[in-house]
Structure 1
Amino acid sequence: MAAPMELFCWSGGWGLPSVDLDSLAVLTYARFTGAPLKVHKISNPWRSPSGTLPALRTSNGEVISVPHKIITHLRKEKYNADYDLSARQGADTLAFMSLLEEKLLPVLVHTFWIDTKNYVEVTRKWYAEAMPFPLNFFLPGRMQRQYMERLELLSGEHMPEDEEELEKEPQGCWPGMGLYREARECLTLLSQRLGSQKFFFGDAPASLDAFVFSYLALLLQAKLPSGKLQAHLRGLHNLCAYCTHILSLYFPWDGAEVPPPRQTPAGPETEEEPYRRQNQILSVLAGLAAMVGYALLSGIVSIQRATPARTPGTRALGMAEEEEEE
């Protein structure tokens, strides 16, 4: 019997099964198709077989870490949400996917990772609280720099750090000007295209729905202190109902509802408790060692030792000790 496919993705928050755009899209597509995945929701990308999230380990042991390639592999395994689409609907899927990546993705990246208020009070706060120590000290900042680089590639130049500054950019001074206006127009177009339908192509979800839902739900659910685009989305009631419908239908315990708390027996600690405490102590010691090592390597802390007078016979030993310290 072949090993089950395993999906590693960012864990959930804000009422969503995952707080990461790519992880949410892959999770949603898998739920739409009923793909038999063993899902690992984690907050440490180093526990992923690729070192990134999301990542799929196939039944053959191959590791795929690009969302579109993960979905392509699921299609090859006969879990295809687009099987019944016509040629016209397939063309519409490609057109709307291009629209999402060009008009909506840059603004979502800016909203969650560049806008100062949102990043400090929402994005970084979640990742810092979810990640294990000591990753929570430096990994959110590294992720922000990666998203900044990604956004500069999309827009061509550095973007202002606040939504208000972006809105005030005068005409013609910056290649990305009007990006929020274009994102609002994109949301309005999606609302018009959906209309009163359950999904974009009728009563059954397709791959386009997985991606649209991941974009909209992330923007809709987070409590953003700086959220003009979020306010525009909340005014498009059919898109809000669309997200609520998918959450309640496909993620009843992960998103729309909260599962009942697991009851733990009162009394003496269980057999697992000593091991859990041991792991916590080891994690703390490892974190302290990592911080001390970083301080020594970066020069924040240095150790001065008095060098004793050397005789000619001990010079070779002294050189060996210095190389080992380096």
Structure 2
Amino acid sequence: MAAPMELFCWAGGWGLPSVDPDCLAVLTYARFTGAPLKVHRIANPWRSPSGSLPALRTKDEGVISKMQQIITHLRKQKYNADYDLSAKQGADTLAFVSLLEEKLLPVLIHTFWVDAKNYVEHTRKWYAETIPFPLNFFLPNCMHKQHLERLQLMWGDGYMEDEEKLEKELYRDARECLTLLSQRLGSQKFFFGDSPASLDAFVFSRLAPLLKAKLPNGKLQQHLKSLQNLCNYCASILSLYFPWDGGDPPAGAPRAAAADGGEAEDDPHKRRNQVLSVLVGLGAMLGYAFLSGIVSIQRGAAGPAGHRPLAMEEEEDEEEE
């Protein structure tokens, strides 16, 4: 029986079930609560019903495409990781989420998408190798531009005037934020004791990519790795809730239902998807060639069509049988 809700999110990598922080937050929250989701890990946002990732397809409310709105919807469906929190713990959650958004998130965007060495050698490389042809030629650059615009909105129009000074201040604030998280977590398993809450999903989704990515320029990453309890915290969540997502399953273990019973890991339609991907790619190339004048239609007899090599789609798409 199909799950009542379908989640579309970025594919996994770096030992994580998804490399995108917002997608990772939704996936983690769903695992914490046992929400029955049919998960499609894809590397082409155009295959999402909203054209962006993450996206949740529901029976009653259509498609929801914002991280916080997806989590709110899961709460309405009685999958609430914060059900047992006190009023003070609820207030602490809001405060820490606000702190992460203000102090840590801009630096994470800068680390992955603005720092030239990290972007060229790690971020763009991963997306270009993972996104299917021909989107991999231009989509990473579009994402890069979107993140630059997002960062400009966060920092203000004057951030380019003295970028080096502002960068130092922001990285200092981010290191202080990580240290504060480490002190708040202490020796606890989760931020509010032995049971995970929405704050844990949010913190994990921000820390895990920074911890697991192989960044050539890892200034903030090195500080995170020096905070052993935060490293253990991320490793614990991965082992408990994503035992082999983002990597290879143990030998002999079937890639089937996850702990919540809602995720199917096999892909019976992979060959069909590969063929469709090739056809779409060839169509896009021919359309571009005609529009740009590289290829034109000549009157006269047409010769035999040339053979073109097939491009394989490197995405992981988990679909219903």
Please give the TM-score of this superposition, normalised by the length of structure 1.
0.80
Q: Specify the alignment match of 1:291 in structure 2.
A: 285
Higher-Rg structure is 1
Give the 4+ runs in structure 1 shifted more than 4 A. Answer: 278-282, 302-306
Q: Is residue 43–residue 131 contact of structure 1 (8 Å, CA) maintained in 2?
A: yes
Tell me how far 1:261 sits from its aligned partner: 7.3
Q: Specify the alignment match of 1:232 in structure 2.
A: 223
Q: Specify the alignment match of 2:310 in structure 1.
A: none
Identical-pair percentage: 73
Output one character per residue of 1:246-289: Cα deviation in whole Å (capped at 9) or x when no partner.
000000011576343799xxxxxxxx99x93x865664354233
Structure 1 residues 34 and 128, CA, compared in 2 at 3 Å: closer, same or farther? same
Tell me how far 1:53 sits from its aligned partner: 0.5
Q: Is residue 248–residue 257 contact of structure 1 (8 Å, CA) maintained in 2?
A: no
Matched, 1:247 2:241: no
Q: Specify the alignment match of 1:200 in structure 2.
A: 191
Q: Which SS does the other structure have where 2:149 is aligned?
A: helix
Output one character per residue of 1:21-52: Cα deviation in whole Å (capped at 9) or x when no partner.
10000000000001111111111111111111
Tell me how far 1:291 sits from its aligned partner: 2.1
Question: Structure 2 counterpart of 1:69, which letter?
Answer: Q
Tell me how far 1:71 sits from its aligned partner: 0.3
Q: Specify the alignment match of 1:22 in structure 2.
A: 22
Show the 5 A alignment for 1:1-326.
Answer: 4-60=4-60, 62-157=62-157, 169-170=164-165, 174=166, 178-255=169-246, 258-260=249-251, 276=271, 280=274, 283-298=277-292, 301=294, 303=296
Structure 1 residues 216 and 133, CA, compared in 2 at 3 Å: closer, same or farther? same
Output one character per residue of 1:62-113: Cα deviation in whole Å (capped at 9) or x when no partner.
1100000000000000000000000100000000000000000000011111
Structure 1 residues 303 and 62, CA, compared in 2 at 3 Å: closer, same or farther? closer
Tell me how far 1:124 sits from its aligned partner: 1.1
How far apart, in 1, do the equivalents of 2:296 and 2:287 lie? 12
How far apart, in 1, do the equivalents of 2:138 and 2:207 lie? 28
Kindly indicate whether structure 1 or structure 2 has the higher relative contact order, using CA contacts under 8 Å at least 6 residues apart. Answer: 2
Q: Is residue 244–residue 256 contact of structure 1 (8 Å, CA) maintained in 2?
A: no
Question: Structure 2 counterpart of 1:289, which letter?
Answer: G
Question: Structure 2 counterpart of 1:40, which letter?
Answer: H
Question: Structure 1 counterpart of 2:202, which letter?
Answer: F
Tell me how far 1:121 sits from its aligned partner: 1.3
Q: Is residue 3–residue 37 contact of structure 2 (8 Å, CA) maintained in 1?
A: no
Structure 1 residues 279 and 124, CA, compared in 2 at 3 Å: closer, same or farther? same
The structure where helix makes up a greater share of residues is 1
Unaligned runs of 5+ in 1: 264-271, 307-326
Structure 1 residues 191 and 280, CA, compared in 2 at 3 Å: closer, same or farther? closer
Tell me how far 1:148 sits from its aligned partner: 0.7
Equivalences, count: 285
Tell me how far 1:126 sits from its aligned partner: 1.2
Q: Which SS does the other structure have where 1:19 is aligned?
A: coil
Q: Is residue 3–residue 59 contact of structure 1 (8 Å, CA) maintained in 2?
A: no
Structure 1 residues 285 and 55, CA, compared in 2 at 3 Å: closer, same or farther? closer
Structure 1 residues 158 and 225, CA, compared in 2 at 3 Å: closer, same or farther? farther
Q: Which SS does the other structure have where 1:254 is aligned?
A: coil
Q: Is residue 25–residue 214 contact of structure 1 (8 Å, CA) maintained in 2?
A: yes
Unaligned runs of 5+ in 2: 255-267, 300-321
Structure 1 residues 129 and 76, CA, compared in 2 at 3 Å: closer, same or farther? same
Q: Which SS does the other structure have where 2:41 is aligned?
A: strand
Tell me how far 1:215 sits from its aligned partner: 0.5
How far apart, in 2, do the equivalents of 1:8 and 1:279 lie? 16
How far apart, in 2, do the equivalents of 1:66 and 1:279 lie? 26
Segment of structure 1 superposing worse, 280-289 or 2-11? 280-289
Q: Is residue 247–residue 256 contact of structure 1 (8 Å, CA) maintained in 2?
A: no
